[in-house]
Amino acid sequence: SALPEKKMMFKGLVPNKEDMNKLTLTPWIQYPLPGGSALITFEKAEVAQRIIEMKEHVVKLSFGEKLEEPDQCRMRVQAAPVEILLPSALEIRLTQSSRSILVSDLPSLAIPEETLLDKLELFFSKTKNGGSEVESREFWGDSGQVVLTFTRDGVAEPLIERGHIQVLIERGKYKVKISPCMIGSIINVQFQPSRCSKTVLLSGIPDVLDEESMRDTLEIHFQKASCGGGEVDALAYVPAGQTGLAVFVEDTG
């Protein structure tokens, strides 16, 4: 299956040798939620485990009026663990772009970004400056660095060998740094299942209350110690007939 592209940049040498050859991945997992379900995250993992072990839960409903049939005031929901796939091994191939350069150490000027890009393109498109026709230019994320791509090979390498170059911008000359632009591609990735320790999936939720009331009802029930619950950190509910998408990030707490 195809993997999403990810822009990365070199930000300097690592201070410790043990940090070399390491790549830190920050999880950003998207988890689809069907209608009639909810994700509830507790502050303590033991509470989530207890809720899962109980499997079925009878939740009292409040309609603002008394009903003759007691069963009509309750609903049964099922609790299950949330399992997601996390990358366990990753292999990346890095290649140097033959047509692109990375321009850094740019001056802080009170001009729009597009104007700065225009100035850089004008300068590096001239052969007397060692450049050639520029195919594209863009800021590299929020790094303050610019990637320039030329229309032909053989232009980037001599500029990279120079290391630094004086660029004319807004009637001033500024020394900028020229570095190679590295392109990374994922050639192998392996995943392993992982269970969320504090989050529970609730399913079988009937469409008997409006969204806000159902969310409050679930949170009230699962916060009660008498129901096996505990302090709720977050709750996401998707009514029947709809779909949702939950996002899991790294738990730094």
pTM across the whole model: 0.60
Mean pLDDT throughout 116-127?
Answer: 94
pLDDT of residue 20: 52
Share of the chain above pLDDT 90, in %: 60
Q: What is the mean pLDDT of the chain?
A: 86
- Cβ atoms of 231 and 223 within 8 Å: the answer is yes
Per-residue confidence at 8, pLDDT binned at 50, 70, 90? low
Residue 235 corresponds to which amino acid? Answer: L
Whole-angstrom distance, CA of residue 136 vs CA of residue 163: 21
Paired tokens of 89: 């091994």
* Between residues 45 and 26, the one the model is more confident about: 45
- pLDDT band with cut points at 50, 70 and 90 for residue 2: very low
